[in-house]
Structure 1
């Protein structure tokens, strides 16, 4: 087993002083008659009613939608999402002077902070995002690297339990190769990690903060095979924040664990990771109709993103989902489309952003190359430059902020 370069400690998560006031911070908890939390829910009308159906009813509705021809798999026969071999900062090469973010496909990003902190978000390197190796959504864009190619990982942040965001194989390999890595997960997931043999897990609720402190270990300092970083210690704040989604890994555990967005700040730089989220549920509209038009302007928007922006922003970088949104009348409550993503970008007060949650697996019915095109249209409508503010990049490509 590799020697961890840093020994990490994490403070006990606690509701921050700057959490929203005047409301119930546990409104997303569903409690039994004894007051015990038994599952979770989206507390705002912006989630919509379609997604509040039982798993069976939701599955029946989606099957009917497919039979009626309203939910077809897109053609990927000629699709090629740009991919490059990633480069990571060389061990011992000094600290980065800026925030450095590398897209590793779908929602997975590797972020290197000026402090020396290295954080991996939602790592899934497998061919299929499914409980089965032979069935389920299959990658049409291969991962640009393997976990073994990443030189150091200090923290792993998980947004929720769906298979395209949480992989047993990936997190197990990461924990084995990087034994000092600390995993941050939403409520209810700690037991899954412990059962997977991963002990360094911090479980958090919305609006809780934890302080992560990394100090260089003596064993690592004396081991010539361990990478040498400039900084002897690193401090970071990790915040679990709301989003609008769902969870589940089997037919009978829907919403038994929490979903979350996250903020990480260290070395004077901050990142907001949207993970997977919706923004506003929209009804069924005619093909080509603008669901942000005057007729739909009054539809409820999720207020949590404006709270995040007001209380925790601004952020140097937002990692914001832009894909898996059609049919809109089914998916909009839990999956943002590019227009939603731009509104989330504004609400959360991100200075710059990169699009995630696209270009990897067929999860819904929009053309897989459509999200970046729709993102540019949404930016133009919002009066935001189409390049250089909220972008997408090749899988494996790094950007600095």
Structure 2
């Protein structure tokens, strides 16, 4: 019989209440992102433009119906998917290790043993319906049951490509001790799903968490009929989870737009800091001809979101940034809430990330750009800023792991 090793995530978790534990902008107490009615949230910057359902219908749906909007070809799939490998136990964590599981989902193995999962969605469709809506054009690299340990699950916002009810329920069943961290207003959704181990947070709030591992069991199979040998490996893991701003919106129905808060996040553990951009825009760009550069002289001074420089100045630098690079065409319609690669590189610079990986592409067709355009433009954007095209802000195959 072949030998095997598994690690059981059986522990007690102690959390501080959400509060401000790090530096914040001077105007943060004004909470300008809270609607004055007390019901919902907004982006309080000149870089934001609000579009209604009719604007979106005209910009995307009607153009597609009339043939004025090209739709990317996904046959055959042009994004490589490989089977991921995960570390066998917590004691194997010597560096920061990041594995892309498609779209915005990353699995992070921190030095010291903490395991964090960001925006997991394992369904075929990112939709309220299992039979309609955007369908995967790349396969899932693994199943939820293949992920050995999950301590922290971060949810950036309520859109279906970032928050999936079936995924959340399966994760909770497989990893019942995992702590969910969400933006304001989303705790109710989790509680209604029967999940109590969830903390909701506002921008610039922090939580310190200590995971006291009671039985990290190391099982060594043998050829006898006796049960596997078990040796306890008790240890404490500490983390700081920080809820930070981004420029986006939220909704799960036509009637709850912006009712819950959208966020970026920082998770710090084992001497490493990861910033997760989730889903965000950077600047609102007007409709311009296809051959016009909206970062050219005429448009280079358009307002951009100031929150990212605040994040970099006050909470950076970060060892790794997970930064969205896709879902941006038509540009004028998507730019307030979705960064294109040129925006992404500016976000990378503003947030003071030492390295970054591109997310929010390669899984579902959500907008009109070609499937492989985001990584091509990312290299061009890095070169335009005088930064290396490789090795600093990269993309990888779905299922691939990188160390930092």
TM range (shorter): over 0.9
Q: Hey, what's the Cα distance between the residues in 2 that align with 1:229 and 1:144?
A: 31
Q: Hey, what's the Cα distance between the residues in 2 that align with 1:173 and 1:225?
A: 27
Pairs within 5 Å for 1:134-283: 134-217=131-214, 232-283=235-286
Out of 120, 125, 131, the residue aligned to residue 123 of structure 1 is 120
Q: Hey, what's the Cα distance between the residues in 1 that align with 2:166 and 2:230?
A: 25
Query: Structure 1 unaligned runs (5+)?
Result: none
Counterparts in 2 of 1:64 and 1:225: CA distance versus 1, 3 Å: farther
Counterpart in 1 of 2:36?
A: 31
Q: Cα deviations across residues 71-103 of structure 1 (Å, max 9, x unaligned)?
A: 3321112332111110000126x2411100000
Q: Cα deviations across residues 53-80 of structure 1 (Å, max 9, x unaligned)?
A: 3334543443333345443321112332
Q: Deviation at 1:24?
A: 4.6
Task: Work out whether residues 323 and 358 of structure 1, in 8 Å CA contact, stay in contact via their aligned partners in 2.
Answer: yes
User: How many residue pairs are counted as aligned between the two chains?
Assistant: 391
Counterpart in 2 of 1:101?
A: 98
Counterpart in 1 of 2:389?
A: 386
Out of 63, 73, 76, the residue aligned to residue 75 of structure 1 is 73
Counterparts in 2 of 1:339 and 1:9: CA distance versus 1, 3 Å: same
Please provide the CA RMSD for this pair: 2.0
Counterparts in 2 of 1:61 and 1:76: CA distance versus 1, 3 Å: closer
Q: Does 1:41 align with 2:42?
A: yes
Task: Work out whether residues 71 and 364 of structure 1, in 8 Å CA contact, stay in contact via their aligned partners in 2.
Answer: no
Q: Cα deviations across residues 1-34 of structure 1 (Å, max 9, x unaligned)?
A: x9742211211001234111145541011122xx
Task: Work out whether residues 78 and 371 of structure 2, in 8 Å CA contact, stay in contact via their aligned partners in 1.
Answer: no
Query: Structure 2 unaligned runs (5+)?
Result: 1-6, 220-226
Q: Secondary structure at the match of 1:9?
A: strand
Out of 278, 287, 296, the residue aligned to residue 299 of structure 2 is 296
Counterpart in 2 of 1:54?
A: 52
Q: Does 1:343 align with 2:346?
A: yes
Pairs within 5 Å for 1:342-381: 342-381=345-384
Q: Deviation at 1:288?
A: 2.2
Q: Hey, what's the Cα distance between the residues in 2 that align with 1:215 and 1:227?
A: 19
Q: Deviation at 1:227?
A: 9.2
Provide TM-score, normalisation by structure 1: 0.93
Task: Work out whether residues 211 and 238 of structure 1, in 8 Å CA contact, stay in contact via their aligned partners in 2.
Answer: yes
Counterpart in 1 of 2:399?
A: 396
Q: Cα deviations across residues 224-280 of structure 1 (Å, max 9, x unaligned)?
A: 889978561000000000000010011111110000000000010000000000001
The more displaced of 343-352 and 284-293 is 284-293
The more displaced of 5-14 and 383-392 is 5-14
Counterpart in 2 of 1:85?
A: 83
